[in-house]
Amino acid sequence: MAGDEPAPDVGTARTAGTGFERIDWTAVDDADSTVPPAAVAAEALVFFSLVAAFVYDYVILANEAPTVGVVGWDVTGVEWLLVVVLAIGVFHAALPLARNRRLTAYYWRQFQKNRAAVVSLGFLGFVFLVGLVGPLIWTAPNEAIDYAAAYQPPVFAGGSWAYALGTDAQGRPLWHLIVYGMRVSLEVGLISMVFAISIGTVVGTAAAYFGGYVDEVLMRYVDLQQTFPVFILLLLLIYLYGASLLLIIALYGLFSWEGTARLVRSEALQRGEEAYVRAAEAAGAGRWWTIRRHLIPNVSSTVITAATLSIPVFILGEASLSFLGFGDPDVFSWGRTISAGRSDLPNAPWISTIPGLFLFLTVLAFNFVGDALRDAIDPR
């Protein structure tokens, strides 16, 4: 499940001299899914190099100089976070799935029962790839301003193939705006999700496991956070500190984990009563061991579903803020493009409608996939 754990070794769990072989059952149970030491080393290496590269970018390189000189790409703070999140995804989602072929195949068969979800997954894969590498291929919208080419209709409305989806009031190709919008949505959705889900899982498990005052205090705070409408809080903070994509992502991550925490807590409370956790405790397993090896793996299906379904909420939230004019003025969020096209609605309706369609389809696809995942891995 987690790549940063030392690989349990059956050999070390045996103690000589007692006459009995003490067998670490979790190690035995997980024998086919244990993380090979190579993966742990690789992950440590990747994260170390990321930190080093980040320090290099911010301390040694001048602020203006592009990080990757060849393509002229200056990595921003949000992009650094995205890279970290992607690395986490590789080590904690992709690799475990690839290692555990049989389980993956089983989940895939369950998932495949939902056709709409399979199509949605394909669409999300497309958005992911284009959002990731698209900005390296197509020029930034602001470098493509061409007033001579303003208000070109898309190709299906009589436009030319040069601007397949048309252009906006400043002659920027809509496709470029959409590609850069995909990047923004990717960043908001994935980074906020990792933030929110991590905090929610930790808080929920801790509340369930420690109980008593810890539970009381944590859950009271969750109550309070739930009472405070996130959107209003965001507006207030943006008012006070000014808008930036990093702030929006951080705020969504920090202030919308209460649902996950509640879910995980109730799930963990239920699981905590089950025999295997009690058995682990009776066998003398430590608290953190029990939490990490028993509780967290067993609430993971709940967490994965909650994670998938939280992504569209964040994407929609950021788009709404940008639409209202509270987004980061330096990035081309879909919400911003839609808002900009509003005044041209009668004469150039494609400027607002086409990015909106992408936003709609992305959110729809996440909802389909999330529900299908719930049916596949969380059958209750």
- Residue 229 interacting with other proteins (CB under 8 A): yes
Q: Which is nearer to other proteins, 72 or 158 (CB)?
A: 158
| 264, two tokens | 């995980």
Please measure the distance between the N-terminal and C-terminal CA atoms of the chain and give it in whole angstroms: 22
Q: CB of 374: closest distance to other proteins in angstroms?
A: 11
What letter represents residue 211's amino acid? G
* Conformational region of residue 211, where left means phi above 0, alpha means psi within -120 to 50, and beta covers everything else: left
**CA angle 136–138–139, rounded 5-degree value:** 95
Q: CB of 75: closest distance to other proteins in angstroms?
A: 29
| Residue 134: partners with Cβ closer than 8 Å, 6 or more residues away | 179, 180, 182, 183
Q: Which is nearer to other proteins, 27 or 235 (CB)?
A: 235
DSSP string computed for 340-365 = HGGGGTTT-THHHHHHHHHHHHHHHH
Q: Which is nearer to other proteins, 167 or 322 (CB)?
A: 322
Q: Which is nearer to other proteins, 224 or 279 (CB)?
A: 224
Q: What x/- string results for residues 258 through 297 when contact with other proteins is judged by CB under 8 A?
A: ----------------------------------------
Q: Which is nearer to other proteins, 43 or 258 (CB)?
A: 258
Q: What x/- string results for residues 352 through 371 when contact with other proteins is judged by CB under 8 A?
A: xx--xx-xx--xx--xx---
Judged by CB under 8 A, the residue of 48, 73, 108, 241 near other proteins is 241
In DSSP terms, 73 is beta-bridged to 68
Q: What x/- string results for residues 189 through 228 when contact with other proteins is judged by CB under 8 A?
A: ----------------------------------xx-xxx
**CA-to-CA distance for 218 and 18, rounded, in angstroms?**
43
- Three-state DSSP at 68 gives strand
Q: What is the dihedral of CA 76, 80, 82, 87, to 10 degrees?
A: 160
Judged by CB under 8 A, the residue of 16, 38, 70, 232 near other proteins is 232
Q: CB of 355: closest distance to other proteins in angstroms?
A: 8
Judged by CB under 8 A, the residue of 17, 72, 212, 346 near other proteins is 346
Give Cα 36 to chain centroid, integer Å.
25
Q: What x/- string results for residues 305 through 344 when contact with other proteins is judged by CB under 8 A?
A: -------x---xx-xx--xxxx--------x--xx--x--
| Residue 35: partners with Cβ closer than 8 Å, 6 or more residues away | 2, 3, 5, 7, 96, 99
Q: What is the dihedral of CA 125, 130, 131, 136, to 10 degrees?
A: 150
Binding interface with other proteins (CB under 8 A): 113, 223-224, 226-233, 235-241, 312, 316-317, 319-320, 323-326, 335, 338-339, 342, 345-346, 349, 352-353, 356-357, 359-360, 363-364, 367-368
